[in-house]
A and B are shown apart, each in its own frame.
Chain A
Amino acid sequence: MFFHWLEKNPFFFAVMTFAVIAFAGLIEIVPNFTEAARPLTTTTPRTVLELAGKNVYIKDNCIACHSQLIRPFKSETDRYGNYSLSGEYAFDRPFLWGSKRTGPDLHRVGNYRTTDWHENHMKNPPDIVPGSIMPSYKHQFTNVADIETAYAEAVTVKNVFNVPYGDDIKAGRKAWEAYRPKVLEDAKKVAADMKDEGVKKMIANGKVPEIVALIAYLNSLK
């Protein structure tokens, strides 16, 4: 019998096992790959500041409690807005759909929350939403966001995956030094709507606090 033979031949046993387990991935992932990689015509890549905010979102692991995926049910579209479309995620590396809603979905949070709301909320969520069990994220007001890494990320996805960034985003320290003021400019615009003195001071010193980058990112979720 074939299986008895396999059980005495570890090499072929391993080959057979591998073939059997690899099969499903090929069928489910490959056929639709190109189609699923296409953005909507209206989807634009995130700015460097927003990318830095996305990295804060990953660092503090917001995904543990917040999804970014609105399912096509009336109860969800009533609560969060239009259901999510595949093309909207085409520039998201990694995808941040999440798998648990201990807190609400955030895929279109930019449509109904403001910079001011986020600023107060992130300091101490129960002050804004009584009964909230979300921790306070005060450290984001003093930690410096890594905008240089965010820029490096934009350069990488532009060069490797042809993400449509402008010509001013290119490799090397010189290009980054030239680009840096634009990021600070974006950060100033967000900080203009904020009250925290420490944040204003850091921005004046040419540093972007994590909270500013994060709010820029959250505001871009629409």
Chain B
Amino acid sequence: MKLIKTFAILIVIVAVFGGAMFALNFYTGPIIEANNAGAANARLDAVMPDGAKAYEDITATLTLPEKFVSPANDKRTAEIVAVHKETKNDFGYVVEVAWTSEDTHGSEPNLVLVGISTDGKIINVNNEGYHDTDAYNIFNKDPKYTSTFIGKDSALADVGTVSGSTHSSESFRSAVSFSFEVLVSNNMITAGVKSDAQILEELIPTVTKGYGKLAEATASGNIVKALKAENETGFAYIVTEGDASFLAIVNATGACAVYNVEGADVTADKAAIVTEAKAHAAANQTNYTQVLTDKLGKLMEGAASITNIEVKTFNTVASAVTFTAENTTYYAFLSRSIGWDSRVMNIYYIIDGNGAIVKTDADQYVFEEHDFKEYGGFLGLPENYREGFVGITGDTFTGNEVIISAATMSSNAIKAATEDIFAAFDSVKGGAQ
């Protein structure tokens, strides 16, 4: 009886307060819903102007472009995740792009939100979820980097990369650029017009390999912009001829290639540009022939008839020579490949006439350097590391032979160097020389 009376009283109390809250909910319910919607939209608001906003997810109504894969490196990708339209004030669109670089770890990509106005200009950019190497976090290295995108159209003119974090910042830039793709292809905004110089500059990573971050050098004559490779293995020039602009690449061995804005190789037709570019490079390029020759004397006894050769590849090869030893012709290459912490390694290779590596060495591999131990806890080379290269040819080289798990960045640089000298060797053997 007592129990029943107790429960009866409790039920009455629940009913009374339940009724009161039910009535109150008519008043507070809509306000709470609006607050919750606001909280969910906070991440979209971050890339939109101030003011009251409402969003509609229009992803399903659009034709999304194919996932972007960078020609410079297939680990650099960008993919459209969602597109939201701001409906209250017609501020524009928020595009969510998932992006990766060669330094992205784990299974989750990075995510960037790009706010784009209806006239095709960036309102703001905000990156959520960063999974690249933490030591090269572009947003820590340069907290103002995202602000360089504000106000730009799809051309992203004058938006550069973050020094010391080239991989991640180039991938991030590509992702932001790709965010325009879905809006342009669905005729929601007009694409920005890139200048010829910008198009040609964006061509550089596709026609060169391993140049690193380019630094601006003094231009002259018809050369309107001169860019020097970080590892000093070449120059890239934007050259004007009349109303047209061209890209001229000169490597450290003196070879030159010229491209037009369509990306076509027009070297044969642009002799004047080739001459001017080569002249500028010869005056400014560091000559590594002596460096290679000096090393050669230590690597192989009796090296004679050392002759400089010009290789027609535009990668990390800084010098190439032929020589004879014991009546056999060999080819020697110096590659300046960029490893951990943007450190350049001088790596030397001697290849026989059949394209097999006879010997290799480096002035100092990055992971032999004292302060690398502080970073990776790894010091020194595995046993017989250098000997492991002997006999490898361009056809048999897989790359796995050179990778060291505790020093992937630098050993990948060695892998790239090895690939580059094989490419250089092929260009020498397959060319006129």
Q: Do A and B come from one complex?
A: no
B interface residue numbers (CB < 8 A to A) = none
A interface residue numbers (CB < 8 A to B) = none
